[in-house]
Structure 1
Amino acid sequence: MTNLRNIVIFILVCALPHAVFTNRARDNAVRIADRYIGSTQWSYASSHDTGRNTNKCNIFVADVFDEAGGGVPHRWFGLAGPIGAGEWGNPRSSYLTSDRCWTNYPTGHVGDVIAGGGHVGIVTGRRITTSAARYSVVKNDWGFRPGQTVTYWRYIC
């Protein structure tokens, strides 16, 4: 009985704080992403971070996770911008699979990053995504529409 009690204590001490922090990080990312709905900061025409006339959905995801207390992989060991939508959409991305804070999941949950077809966003509800679109940050069913193939990544640190 003492061994069982020690095992339970070990699990609670080691696993529970990690699970609570992970849920808090995901909640923060969702709250922050939704706060930016309608913002043009990450629009195609905006000069934010990568200059005008560039897609910035990956920058949006990076900025949200930075603000939530997490982080995303960057190209060239942090000396260049965050990975692009194509890397997020690749379930075997070397950037993500070698980062201990990100893990690939077969299905998406609120707070996960969702990517495919050259676009990336954050799952912010049941079959709902918040992402930087051409003109502003939007909340819609992108990634959950019939015929779309997507990849999900979960921040676990």
Structure 2
Amino acid sequence: MKHRFLLGTAACVMALGAAVPAMAQSDLEVRENADAYSASVCPDYSKDVSMPMLRGVPVGALRVLAQRGIVLCQSPQLTADAPVVWYGQYGVYAWNPYIDGAATQLVAVIDNMTRNESFPVQMMIWDTNGVRLTGRTVPAFQLRPGARLRVQSR
């Protein structure tokens, strides 16, 4: 009887041990999944533009974004004076990849917000110097037709 219990316990421990690595994603998989989510949601998506920016985002931050269903979208409609936006209502970061410094600023914003676990519902806008802008109007977030956001409640 005692041996059956130990055998059963050992089998459970081995099964759990095997399941953990299968569920854990490598850093590359985390980046590729973030990119795939962007491709499925963002109308202006381009892998050539997305992946270099994603390589700059700390993997821990990308994991937080994935857990919350937050997506990163390229938005060429954003202007040079306001190229980085957090659409809090939708759980979307957007940046104009054709504005020098916008991707770098987006990475800094993501790093800061994920470290603080601060994802407000209101829209937030930044310039390329990291200055948060107020009283600005930016284009509304556009979802790819037929796409669904996975944003988790905050």
TM-score over 0.5 for the alignment? no
More helix as a share of residues: 2
Larger radius of gyration: 2
TM-score by length of 1: 0.29
Q: Which has the higher contact order (CA 8 A, sep 6+)?
A: 1
